[in-house]
Structure 1
Amino acid sequence: MEKSTDYKSGWLGRWIAARHMALAGYITKIIMIETGLTYKQVRRLYQDIENDGYELERRSRTFRGGATLIHSHTSKIQASLLMQLYRNIGGEDVIRSIDIKALNKAFRMYHAIRKEVPGMKGARWVPFDITDAWCLASELRCGDAMLEQCDNCECTYFTSVNQRTCVECPFCVADKSKAA
């Protein structure tokens, strides 16, 4: 066992971070990437968590990217909201590396906003899970996605090179469809 007193980079810090991520619903592969733990260690962690009486809420099992996550203007609006919250909380550094604490906080805020906005319910507004949030943040970090500012409405929106929708501002598109 590695001996370290550094909470953030030591073995104990990585184990605690992995536990928090597992309880938040991250998939095994993401926990391994972010903490450096092995598959076997993460499986053991899951057992420990379940033995402690907690229920794991992993909804998805795979990575998804802009091609599958951003398929309509409503999903683009949601991605924009989530990633703008993430950047506001984590600062400009989120473009260079994923900040799990900032991402978790942004994800909780995203869901709180979804609960308060009556129009963000229903089949057209399928919510992102925490794995989806990490995948969007990963695209932002590696340069496959960016936050752009609309010249027309001045809103910031998320756009991915892999998305299956138009590149224009989703807020302006939503506005145009309401007016029609």
Structure 2
Amino acid sequence: MEKSTDYKLGWLGRWIAARHMALAGYITKIIMIETGLTYKQVRRLYKDIENDGYELERRSRTFRGGATLIHSHTSKIQASLLMQLYRNIGGEDVIRSIDIKSLSKAFRMYHAIRKEVPGMKGIRWTPFDITDAWCLASELRSGDAMLEECGACQCNYFTSVNQRTCVECPYCVADRTKVVGA
């Protein structure tokens, strides 16, 4: 599978990849990292996109890591869901390099699942944006995060060395919380 960072795609291929990323909501810095385009080229791309009548949906402006993204068991459940989808789509290669196509597909599936699950609404379940997804994938690639298998429920869950929550399985924690509250 060709990546947007594969410079064999040539300038046009990188420009197209950058355009898709911009329309998906990736921030400038990530587009630059993944495509090799300069800041000035990405700004020109944004202008072209707006001239074509599209609206850019960049929700965040900075990178965030596990310390700010994973701050509760609900955010850990969401990170686990998103990164498990990403790994299932992209395979083992996502541990070595970020695959933008697989990440974008996983991100769309994550939001489709969120819409179907009635309990994933409200302030406790604030959704990740595409930049957050890339940041989680970046931690996975760098070895600062991993998908672990729970010995009790056999579910895979995402854990980051930088997270502000306990390291245990978020699904088991959620189950124990339901039992205690019942």
Is this a same-fold pair by TM over 0.5? yes
Q: Which residue of 2 aligns with 1:97?
A: 97
1:109-129 CA-partner distances (Å, limit 9, x unpaired): 000000000000011000000
1:24 and 1:140 map into 2 onto residues whose CA distance is 21
Quote how far apart the aligned CAs of 1:8 are.
5.4
2:10 and 2:137 map into 1 onto residues whose CA distance is 24
2:153 and 2:97 map into 1 onto residues whose CA distance is 29
Q: 1:144 to 1:19 in 2, by over 3 A?
A: same
1:18-43 CA-partner distances (Å, limit 9, x unpaired): 00000000000000000000000000
Q: 1:48 to 1:170 in 2, by over 3 A?
A: same
SS in 2 for 1:102: helix
Q: Which residue of 1 aligns with 2:156?
A: 156
1:46-87 CA-partner distances (Å, limit 9, x unpaired): 000000000000000000000000000000000000000000
SS in 1 for 2:37: coil
Q: 1:114 to 1:32 in 2, by over 3 A?
A: same
1:97-146 CA-partner distances (Å, limit 9, x unpaired): 00000000000000000000000001100000000000000000000000
TM-score w.r.t. the length of structure 2 is 0.94
Could you tell me which runs of 5 or more consecutive residues in structure 2 were left unpaired when the two chains were aligned: none
Quote how far apart the aligned CAs of 1:6 are.
9.3
Identity between Structure 1 and Structure 2 (%)? 91
Quote how far apart the aligned CAs of 1:9 are.
2.3
TM-score w.r.t. the length of structure 1 is 0.95
| Conserved? CA contact 1:2–1:10, under 8 Å | no
| Conserved? CA contact 1:95–1:140, under 8 Å | yes
Q: 1:3 to 1:168 in 2, by over 3 A?
A: closer
SS in 2 for 1:32: helix
Corresponding pairs, count: 180
Q: 1:30 to 1:73 in 2, by over 3 A?
A: same
Could you tell me which runs of 5 or more consecutive residues in structure 1 were left unpaired when the two chains were aligned: none
